[in-house]
């Protein structure tokens, strides 16, 4: 039997990058997956790439009405959630002294507010014993120049996991964090365009003991592990998948 045979999963931000790779892996391991994303054309492309056992629901996680529509669709079609990967988020550079209210609100609304309500609104559908995985980043513990607002949101996500592990323990719902290092994704390509292009990537790689960027599927494998019975005694952790970058 496949690792996630018959399970129902929700992956926010599943239209590209880490979210898409995770949705592909979960479907390949037997799950039915609901994916979200803000851009319908990318969602349509993702559905074609995944190929089967997938439903796409367009929406922005920072919009609570969009989350309600997502979970109404899940309830109507499948009636439960076994795996929730709260992955959607965004990041932009802004050095201290140049941070605007708009930058702060945009980043916290997507990464903190959106993630919080992604999980809270899923609670009625999450089965006892479900697995919740939150996507954070190595910047939850490392300082990167001009990245303070984004980094603070990722530290908040790590804090959520600790508290929610306790809040949900009576339902045996495990809550864990996966914290990627530099990963080849469309998001990091967009970030690089605003901050020196290939120089940004070269600088990141120079700090990785394994000497390269990671792939989205390497994060997907970690998420799949945390969601599986192989991780049945693991909850409240932050799993770094970073080529050693945050470990030295």
Instruction: Identify whether 149 is part of a domain.
Output: yes
187 part of a folded domain: no
d(CA 32, CA 145): 40
Per-residue pLDDT at 200: 79
Domain count for the chain: 1
The answer to whether residue 235 sits within a structural domain is: yes
Average pLDDT over residues 42-61: 98
Q: What is the pLDDT of residue 196?
A: 62
Domain annotation covers residue 1:
no
pLDDT in tens, 113-167: 999 999 999 999 999 999 999 999 999 999 999 999 999 999 999 999 999 999 9
The parent domain of residue 167 ranges over 8-182+214-241
Mean pLDDT of the chain: 95
- Residue 88: predicted pLDDT: 97
The answer to whether position 14 is within a domain reads yes
Calculate mean pLDDT across residues 194-217: 86
> Which candidate in 32, 71, 104, 150 is catalytic?
150
Residue 160 lies in a domain: yes
For residue 109, being part of any structural domain is answered with yes
Polymer length in residues for the chain: 248
Residue 195: pLDDT band with limits 50, 70, 90: low
pLDDT for the residue numbered 116: 98
Is 0.85 topped by the overall pTM? Answer: yes
Query: The domain spanning residue 122 has which CATH number?
Result: 3.40.50.720
The gap from C-alpha 153 to its chain's centroid, in whole angstroms, comes to 13
In a domain, 145, yes or no: yes
What confidence tier does 201 reach under pLDDT thresholds 50, 70, 90? confident
On the question of pLDDT at 91 being above 80, the answer is: yes
150 is catalytic: yes
Contact indicator for 175, 134 with CB cutoff of 8 Å: yes
In the sheet that holds 8-11, the strands lie side by side as 54-58, 32-37, 8-11, 81-86, 126-135, 174-180, 238-241
- Look at residues 110, 226, 125, 121 and name the one whose alpha carbon lies nearest to residue 179: 226
């Amino acid at each position: 039997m496949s690792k996630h045979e018959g399970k129902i999963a929700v992956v926010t931000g599943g239209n590209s990058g880490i979210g898409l790779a995770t949705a592909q892996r979960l479907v390949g391991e037997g799950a039915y997956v609901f994916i979200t994303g803000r851009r319908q054309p990318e969602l349509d492309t993702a559905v074609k790439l995944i190929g089967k056992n997938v439903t796409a629901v367009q929406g922005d996680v920072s919009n609570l009405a969009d989350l309600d529509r997502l979970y109404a669709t899940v309830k109507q079609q499948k009636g439960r959630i076994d795996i929730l990967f709260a992955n959607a988020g965004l990041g932009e550079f802004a050095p201290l002294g140049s941070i605007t209210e708009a930058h702060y609100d945009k980043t916290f609304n997507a990464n903190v507010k959106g993630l919080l309500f992604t999980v809270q609104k899923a609670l009625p559908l999450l089965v006892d014993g479900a697995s919740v995985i939150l996507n954070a980043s190595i910047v939850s513990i490392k300082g990167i120049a001009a990245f303070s607002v984004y980094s603070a949101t990722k530290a908040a996500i790590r804090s959520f996991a600790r508290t929610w592990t306790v809040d949900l323990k009576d339902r045996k719902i495990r809550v864990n964090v996966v914290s990627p290092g530099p990963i080849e994704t469309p998001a990091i390509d967009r970030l690089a365009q605003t901050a020196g292009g290939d120089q940004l990537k070269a600088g990141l790689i120079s700090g990785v003991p394994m000497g390269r960027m990671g792939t989205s599927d390497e994060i997907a494998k970690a998420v799949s592990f945390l969601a599986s019975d192989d991780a049945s005694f693991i909850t409240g952790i932050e799993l770094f998948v970073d080529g050693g970058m945050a470990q030295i």
